Amino acid sequence: MTDVPKPAPVFAVVRDAPAPISLRGAVTAIGNFDGVHRGHRTVIAAAQARAAAIGCLAAALTFEPHPRTVLRPDQPFFRLSDETTKLRLLAATGLAGAFIVRFDAALASLPADVFVQEILIDRLGIAGAVIGFNFHFGSNREGSPQFLEAEGARRGFAVDVLPQLEDEGRPVSSQAVRAALAGGRMVEAAELLGYPWLISGTVIHGDKRGRDLGYPTANICPDPACGLRHGIYAVRVGVGGRRYDGVASFGRRPMYKIETPLLEAFLFDFNGDLYGLTIDVAFLAFVRDEMRFDSAETLVRRMDEDSRIAREALARSPDAFPPLGELAG
C-alpha cells in the first residue's frame, strides 16, 4: 500500500458553452484523446510550449461521445478511457482546462469552415490550435490539417500539426494500444500509453463466492465493448488517497459461466468495505488465461499461485500508476 502523490491542480471543464474569461484566448490542443497516450501528450506539450511562448494558457478541446460511437453505432467500440477518466488524464498534464464539444449528427454535418468560425473563434476565441497529423473535422472530414493551417493563417491564429509519434519504429496510436490490450500485452500497452492502462468504476455487490474462498473481491462491470483479453492480471488499485497491490480476474469465469464480463480485483493487505466507491484498477502484467477447475480446492491453489506471480510482477514496478488529476465538482 502506498500514498497517492499530491494531485495536479483542479482544472476547468467547459461543456458546450463559451469559454470563460479565464480560458478565452488559450492555445488549444484538439483531438479525441482516447487514452491520452504518448502521441496525444506530444500534441498537448506542443500546445503548452506555444502558450508559454506567447503568454497565455493551454487547454484541450475534445468530443463526447466518441465520434466512432455516433458514426458507426452498430459496431461495438472499445474506448481506452471513458469521459471522466480521459478528463482526469488530461488534468494531470498540467493543462488549464478542457472544452467538451458534444459530437452528434449535427456536428458531424457541420461544414469545416463553420466549425472554425462558430466553435474555435466565436465560442473559444483560441489563440492557436495544435493537432495531430491525422486529425480531421467537419462534414465529410473536409477539415484536414492543411485546411486548418490555411484557416488559421487567414483568421489570425497559429496552427501546429504534429507528425506521427513512433516508438522504435512502432506507431503510437490508440489502435495500437487496443491491439496490445486485446493480446494481453500489458507492458507494450504501457509503453505506448506512457502509463499502465486502467479501468475506473463503482464497486458493486457480487455473489460473494470470492469471500467464501478466502479471496474477497471488489467487483466492477466494465463497458461491454471492453476489448481487454480475458484472464488474470497483476493490478494496482487506487482507493481514495491510497494504492493497493492486487490480483484481478477479467472475464466470464468459466467455473461459474457468467454472461457479462466482470472485473474482480482482490486487494492485498486490505480490509474494508468498498461497496459504492469508485476505484481505479491499473493493469501491470498478464498472469494467465481464464481456466476451468475441477474443484474449489484446485481453484484456491491456483489463486494462491496467481497472487504470488502478481506480487512478483508488481514488485518490479513499485511506483507504476496512471497519472490522474482532479476534476472540479
Question: pLDDT tens digit string along 306-323?
Answer: 999 999 999 999 999 999
Give me the pLDDT at residue 260, please: 85
For the structural domain made of 196-315, what CATH number should be given? 2.40.30.30
Mean pLDDT split into 10-residue runs, the chain, 329 residues? 50 94 96 98 98 97 97 96 97 97 97 98 98 95 97 97 93 97 98 98 81 85 96 97 96 74 96 95 97 88 96 96 87
pLDDT at 282: 98
What CATH class has 9-167?
A: alpha beta
Q: Which of 323, 320, 41, 45 is nearest to 172 (CA)?
A: 41
Residues of the chain with CATH 2.40.30.30: 196-315
pLDDT given for residue 253 in this prediction: 74
Tell me how far CA of residue 309 lies from CA of 186, 198, 284, 312, in angstroms.
Answer: 15, 20, 12, 5
pLDDT for the residue numbered 76 = 94
Residue extent(s) of CATH 3.40.50.620 domains in the chain: 9-167
Instruction: Please report the sign of the dihedral spanned by the C-alpha atoms of residue 232, residue 284, residue 327, residue 71.
Output: negative
- 200 bridge partner residues: 280
Closest by CA to 233, choosing from 317, 310, 141, is: 310
Q: Which three cell numbers stand for residue 322?
A: 496512471
